[in-house]
Structure 1
Amino acid sequence: MVQGSRTYIPVMPEHEWYRAELEQVEVFAPLIPAEQVWVEVLGARNEIVPHDRNDMPDRLVSLDAPPRREPIAIMDVSRLTGHRVVQVVEGVERRDLRAVTELHTSTDGYTCARVATELEWYRWAANGRAPKTREIPVNLLWIE
């Protein structure tokens, strides 16, 4: 939306967007000046690749933009439930997932976590009904 010489973008909290989707209702979002809105772009810069545990990530960030967050291997985090996760199978990323459990051993003996789609995650938060989940081996999961 353009008003005068400024461009505004409607922005709302993520949980409100999912609530609107679940309840099929219209939700109003405040208008934020475009220069204050940052959009995450996925692509070559966000490619998920294994990392060397001895590499110290560059901790310096610009104060002019949000920091870039690198995907983290699931085994490198202490808490998993609730985090956004990415499933990577043969180089193809599946996003829009949330971890519903911590790591556990599957009946087949693999280390796994159960994940749900973000829509199912927010439905669970809204109505308390357990989400539909899938068990994914840890070697296929990364935290966003």
Structure 2
Amino acid sequence: MGLSGNAFDVPEPPPALVPVPATRAFDLHSSRVIAGAAGCGWQFDLRADDPVTRDGMLVVPLISEADYYRAVDGDGDAYASLVPAADVYVQKPEPGTGAPRPGYLIERLTDPDSPPIRRPYPASDVPGLIGQRVWYWTDGGFRDDFRCVSEAFELDGDFCVRVVEERAWYRWQRSGTIPKAQDAFIQHLWTQ
């Protein structure tokens, strides 16, 4: 569970995840997506496959993240819901968008009829980290496939959080197989 990287190496924040209509995206296979509609609301933690045409309508096959990782592990088939392409948005990183500090409610208001931009927040500013998907700065770059399995703690004078790869997180939920956790400096983590 050793630490990787240097505690004094604090990178710029990762990019925000901006919703792009699926009808304007290419190669949706395995993409993280948002589904929903104006007047209803939005669902996250979904994966898409490439669009298909059914009864003259363009639809996107969607599965939950849990089913996606179950299929990746070869632990059974995943059955997709066919959602109209107009109701699906791909989460695309937009470089240079950074992470604002969580502000007052008035600064966080959004349009409920549009899928929201998901801005990364420093893990040090977010309570309740267990289960959160995070960007993790490791080996000189960001990875977006980790989940927190602890709250912040102190280790040899540094503040850390234990993380596991998301694939292992879902395997743990599905099979009870405890994943190999690693300690990460909290300043190397941003929530998604």
Q: TM-score, normalised by structure 1?
A: 0.85
Structure 2 residue identity aligned to 1:61: T
Coordinate RMSD, CA, aligned:
2.2
Structure 1 residue identity aligned to 2:93: L
Q: Structure 1 residues 16 and 109 mapped into 2: Cα distance closer, same or farther (>3 Å)?
A: same
More strand by share: 2
Contact preservation (8 Å) 2:124, 2:186: yes
Structure 1 residue identity aligned to 2:125: D
For structure 1, the residue ranges without an aligned partner over 5 or more in a row are none
Residue aligning to 1:129? 177
- What is the DSSP-based 3-state SS (H/G/I as helix, E as strand, rest coil) of the residue aligned with 1:42? strand
Q: Structure 1 residues 116 and 48 mapped into 2: Cα distance closer, same or farther (>3 Å)?
A: farther
For structure 2, the residue ranges without an aligned partner over 5 or more in a row are 1-51
Q: Structure 1 residues 24 and 90 mapped into 2: Cα distance closer, same or farther (>3 Å)?
A: closer
Match of 1:14 among 44, 48, 65: 65
Could you tell me how far apart the structure 2 residues matched to 1:81 and 1:137 are? 15
Count of residue pairs the alignment pairs up: 140
Residue 44 (str. 1) matches residue 133 (str. 2): no
More helix by share: 1
Contact preservation (8 Å) 2:63, 2:80: yes
Q: What is the CA-CA distance between 1:73 and the residue it aligns to?
A: 1.0
Residue 76 (str. 1) matches residue 120 (str. 2): no
Could you tell me how far apart the structure 2 residues matched to 1:139 and 1:63 are? 31
Residue aligning to 1:117? 165
Could you tell me how far apart the structure 2 residues matched to 1:68 and 1:76 are? 18
Could you tell me how far apart the structure 1 residues matched to 2:170 and 2:89 are? 23
